[in-house]
Structure 1
Amino acid sequence: MSFHIYLLPTVPVAYLATASLAFHILLNLPQGIRNLGFPVFLVPAWRAFATFKCFTWPASLAGIWGLAVLIWMTHIISLLYIDKIQPQSKSRKQWDIKAAYKLLFDVRHLSQSGTNSPPVAAYALRGSSLAFVASRLVKLLVFWLLTVYLFTPLIPLIFGPVQPWEFDHYAQTYIRRLPLFETKEPVTLRETLIRIVFTIRWVWLNYVDVDAAHTFLSIIFVGILRIDTPEEWPSMFGSPLEAYSLRRYWGRFWHRLVYRPYLGLARAVAEKLHCNSLGSRFEKCFLAFMIFLISGVAHAIVSLQDGNYAEAVDDVAFYCMNFLLIAVEEIFIHVASPLRCFLPRSCWRLVGFVWVFMFWFWAAPKWAYHEVHEELVKEAERRNRAQGLQMITGLLGMK
């Protein structure tokens, strides 16, 4: 039975490998046959997504795998059916397995943006690969130490024991419970401080989940399989110092895995709706909205597959709200532009950082408090059950 559990993660991996083979076949066929053969790719790719619960450790891996497969499916669909990439080109021969592989997982289109460096000598490449793997192993170690010993126990470490009610549905609201609204249960200083620390912890854990998975895969493909070079695995995230607006948070700091795949779908929709006839500014705005909408739908599909039906609606609403807030942010920046000469740039950036943090201070608990609440309730039930068993054992011993 335990051996069967160990083999479970190979199920979605096998489906992904089958879908990858299907992509290689479809890539080398004429467009008409590709259209007919789409289910050959779609069925195993969807199964690779639908079986993400086979990943049981670490706890966040299942959701990351599911979302990554959806992004990858969008990337392949964009290549084959939107860009309609030719079976053969100047840089790629037909049935070229290596060239097909380079297209297969190049979700960020790094090869097209010129990120890859020119070929180097074998000994230099070997040395750079070893240094790359060593640095990535150190990075994973630092991630693990900080996550396990600092950020995971951060809240009880600072505030002591916490109770489930401090993270319940009522605690998710904040603005409506400020003292100025004369609410029956206004927010407290402890609640506010917990919320601040939770926001920092939540952003860190989400960042580490994605970056650690990317780092681990880079070690596999560069150091073990040796089918990629270090230049083909650049960092996914930018500097947090660039995140002094919501637009820059998503565009400069957070990973850009979804941008190129979702942009392809967004352009296809915009073309069908003839958005270009309404002007380039409207078209750019529509494309940005579609990218956020598709992101929300992708997260919602993961939530639905995981059985969290209520979260699916929240996922779509959250990403659409981000688009609206960025639009308001752009209007504010335009209106306030004459005032920039009166204050140094550092002051404006500080205001921007405060604004971005306040947004996550409001949004993160709405998205994640329920998970903490459920875990605390389960922990309390386990503790009460253990205490009950101890009492029964003691009574039996007395007799």
Structure 2
Amino acid sequence: MINSVPMSILKGLEPVILYALAAGLVFFGLSLKKHKRKVLLVPIWALLARSFWGIHHFLWIPGLSFQFGMLNIITVFCAPLILNAIENPLIFHERDTRARSLWISYKLYNNPRMLPLALTAESKGSIETDRNLLVFVGCRTFKVAVLFGVRAALKAAMEVVFGTLRIIEISPSREPMIRRLISNQLTSRDLQLRIFTTAYWLIETMAQLELGHLLLAIVFVVLLRFDRPEEWPPLFGHPREAYTLRRFWSRFWHRLLSPSVATWGRAFADKVLRSRDQKTAKNLIVAFFVFTVSGLAHVAVNWRLGQPALDRDLLYFWVTFLAITIEVAVAKLWTDISSRYSLRLVSTGLFGRTLDYAKFVYVFGFLIWLTPRLVYAKTYESIMLQARADTPL
């Protein structure tokens, strides 16, 4: 009987068990006095590292390896913050307080986005009507279905528009866009391929994350009823919020890793800066810290999964940070100039609406400039590595 079970499934249990043990130590740590909890970080991080090492066993489920790897990294940064979240130890050994303590531990642990928590509220799963739960699941399921539908439509459209894609079309010489546009080397096919690639990459990422979020929400909101629907807000904001690069990343894109990393970044900035009044410098340090750690997290996961072009993962986040820094500086300069010369009316009426649309074009234009540098490089190197592996000696 056991021989009929795929070995990948059996191997996949090991990182899950190790992760569960790490989570159990975090729960246990909350029962200790605050000054004693730090000693648990070493075994917690060791278990997470060993769990991370086995993420390649999930490759048989599309997207799960990457998501589980990122979950381990998120927990690495969140675990110390959770252990530091409450002053007094929770009581697990007494029957009348055990359920309450477990509920508080769960609430603290299952909040990587650092959403507001009401730990004084009713303990387990406030009563929700079946109608409310049905609406909650239905809306989320419809959203995921739409994302995967758009993903499938984009893939089909790419096959129709481009047919057989030649490897030279994603070669390093095709990565630059502005330079080739200036020299009149950028063809309409090149531009179409960049647009499709960027849109597909965005939708694919959103669909995978929203699917995982939906499945977890069904478990904790509908089946176990530990949470209320409003405690599981959407991962992604409304697209209308993404009219600048800064808002794209802070308002529209998911924030699973950045809140905990930003907390570490603020502590790092306080150590680096002598004066805590240096708000602009501190914001820059924190932002650079967050984008760097995010890039390194992607590098680590992709390295463990055997992906090529790892430098592009870090470069993607560094270039984005630089672009946002320039964007904020330009916006501040425009605000100063418009207030000094009374130009506020310029941004109203028809011109203002046109400017709003131009902002969205600018954001997507930046993405179609940068994203192919990531996707093309990984795809090209993967094809070349496979070709060399298939070539007989």
TM bucket, shorter chain: 0.7 to 0.9
- When normalised by structure 1's length, the TM-score is 0.83
Change in CA separation of 1:343 and 1:35 when aligned onto 2, cut-off 3 Å: closer
Matched, 1:22 2:22: no
CA contact (8 A) 1:276 1:283 kept: no
Figure out how many residues of one structure are paired with residues of the other and give that number. Answer: 373
Does residue 14 of structure 2 align to residue 11 of structure 1?
yes
Report the residue type matching 2:376 in the other structure: Y
| Superposed displacement of residue 373, structure 1 | 3.8
Alpha-carbon distance in structure 1 between the residues aligned to 2:365 and 2:168: 23
Alignment of 1:28-107 (within 5 A): 28-80=31-83, 85-88=87-90, 96-107=101-112
Following superposition, the deviation at residue 37 of structure 1 comes to: 2.4
CA contact (8 A) 1:164 1:377 kept: no
What is the distance in 2 between the residues matched to 1:253 and 1:121?
29
Letter paired with 1:293? T
Question: Structure 2: which amino acid aligns with 1:65?
Answer: F
Matches of 1:302 and 1:194, distance apart in 2: 27
Counterpart residue type for residue 256 of structure 2: L
Letter in 2 for 1:302: V
Deviation at 1:26, TM superposition (A): 1.0
Q: Which residue of 2 aligns with 1:177?
A: 180
Deviation at 1:100, TM superposition (A): 0.5
Q: Displacement, 1:202?
A: 1.6
Residue 156 of structure 1, aligned match among 131, 135, 159: 159
Contact 2:55–2:65 (CA under 8 A) maintained in structure 1:
yes
Deviates more, 1:32-41 or 1:236-245: 32-41
1:1-399 mapped onto 2 (5 Å cutoff): 3=5, 4-80=7-83, 85-88=87-90, 96-112=101-117, 122=127, 124-148=128-152, 150-180=153-183, 186-277=185-276, 279-308=278-307, 310-311=309-310, 313-337=311-335, 338=338, 339-344=343-348, 345-373=352-380
Residue identity opposite 2:217 in structure 1: S
How far does the alpha carbon of each residue in 1:179-213 deviate from its partner, in whole angstroms, 9 at most, with x for none? 43x7xxx2222111221222222211122121221
- In the aligned structure 1, how far is the partner of 2:211 from the partner of 2:126? 29
330 and 179 in structure 1: CA distance in 2 versus 1, 3 angstrom threshold = closer
Counterparts of 2:261 and 2:217 in 1: how far apart (Å)?
23
CA 1:197–1:60 in 2, change beyond 3 Å: closer, same or farther?
Answer: same
Give the direction of change, closer, same or farther, for the CA distance of 1:315–1:64 in structure 2 (3 Å limit).
Answer: same
- The one-letter code matched in structure 1 to 2:34 is Q
Counterpart amino acid of residue 148 in structure 2: W
Q: Deviations over 1:25-48 (max 9, x none)?
A: 111112332222222211222222
Look up the match of 2:94.
Answer: none
Indicate conservation of the 8 Å contact 1:166/1:191, yes or no: yes
Confirm or deny: 8 A CA contact 1:78 1:265 kept in the other structure: no
Q: Structure 2 unaligned segments of length 5 or more: list them.
A: 92-96
Query: Take 1:144 and 1:369, find their aligned partners in 2: how far apart are those partners?
Result: 22
C-alpha deviations, 1:23-72, integer Å up to 9, x for none?
Answer: 01111112332222222211222222221111124432211221122112
- How far has the Cα of 1:136 moved from its partner? 2.8
**Number of the residue aligned with 1:397:** none
Task: Pick closer, same or farther for the CA change 1:13–1:279 going to 2, 3 Å.
Answer: same
Aligned counterparts of 2:149 and 2:232: Cα–Cα separation in 1: 23
Indicate conservation of the 8 Å contact 1:79/1:85, yes or no: no
User: Where does residue 391 of structure 1 map in the other structure?
Assistant: none
Q: Which runs of 5+ in 1 are unaligned?
A: 386-399
| Residues 1:251 and 1:58: Cα distance change in structure 2 (over 3 Å) | same
Q: Quick one: distance in 1 between partners of 2:361 and 2:82?
A: 40
For the 8 Å contact 1:163–1:376, the answer to whether it is kept is no
Residue 300 (structure 1) shift: 2.0
Letter matched to residue 89 of structure 2: P
> 1:355-398: per-residue Cα shift (whole Å, max 9, x none)?
111111111111111344467779999xx99xxxxxxxxxxxxx
- 8 Å contact from structure 1 (residues 275, 283) kept in 2: no
Change (3 A) 1:237 1:49: same
Tell me: CA distance 1:211–1:315, structure 2 relative to 1, closer, same or farther (3 Å): same
What is the identity percentage for the equivalent residue pairs of Structure 1 and Structure 2? 27
* CA deviation vs aligned residue, 1:110-157 (integer Å, no higher than 9, x gap): 23389x9999973x4443223322333333333333323x12233112
Alpha-carbon distance between aligned partners in 1 of 2:104 and 2:81, rounded to the nearest angstrom: 17
**Contact in 1 for aligned 2:244/2:359 (Cα 8 Å):** yes
Aligned equivalents of 2:316, 2:369: Cα separation in 1? 12
Deviations 1:234-287 (A, max 9, x none): 111111111111001001110122232012211221232245445223222222
Distance 1:378 1:196, change over 3 A: same
